[in-house]
């Protein structure tokens, strides 16, 4: 988060954008207003999460990585992001609620994709 320029807490909308983002002409451009996009990074497609979980086998214990992506609305009606972690039970892939106004502590780490 600090690398994105957020020394304090930031919202999901600040980080990845929202459904209500617009371009410079005011035309709807969902999920383009987040800081990652402003820095030239891309949101990840959701399939990156399980692929990266399978490849990143040496993730440090107690580490969490949040996937910067357009949130997926799940059956409970909540927007969610994927999270890759490592705890005492081992490596895992899970989701976490990510409403546009949910706050993220500045020590959280997000994974973005680079534009090819």
Q: What pLDDT sits at residue 113? A: 93
In a domain, 53, yes or no: yes
- Rounded to whole angstroms, how far apart are CA atoms 6 and 12? 12
In a domain, 28, yes or no: no
In a domain, 8, yes or no: no
In a domain, 29, yes or no: no
**pTM (two decimals):** 0.92
Burial call 71-103: b when 16+ CB within 10 Å, e when fewer = beeeeeeebbbbbbbbeeeebeeebbebebebe
In a domain, 51, yes or no: yes
The parent domain of residue 98 ranges over: 42-114
Q: What pLDDT sits at residue 3? A: 84
- Rounded to whole angstroms, how far apart are CA atoms 8 and 29? 26
In a domain, 108, yes or no: yes
Number of domains in the chain: 1
Residue 15 and residue 109 in contact, taking contact as beta carbons nearer than 8 Å: no
Digit-by-digit pLDDT tens for the chain (116 residues) are 888 889 899 999 999 999 999 999 999 999 999 999 999 999 999 999 999 999 999 999 999 999 999 999 999 999 999 999 999 999 999 999 999 999 999 999 999 998 65
In a domain, 4, yes or no: no
């Amino acid at each position: 988060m600090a690398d994105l320029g957020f020394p304090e807490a930031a919202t999901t909308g600040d980080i990845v954008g929202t459904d209500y983002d617009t371009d410079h002409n005011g035309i709807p451009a969902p999920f383009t207003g987040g800081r990652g996009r402003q820095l030239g990074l891309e949101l990840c497609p959701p399939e990156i999460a399980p692929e990266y979980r399978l490849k990143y086998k040496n993730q440090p214990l107690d580490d969490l990585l949040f996937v910067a992506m357009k949130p997926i609305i799940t059956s409970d009606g909540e927007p969610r992001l994927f999270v890759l972690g490592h705890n005492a039970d081992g490596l895992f892939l899970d989701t976490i609620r990510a409403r546009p106004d949910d706050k993220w502590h500045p020590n959280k780490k997000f994974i973005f994709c680079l534009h090819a």
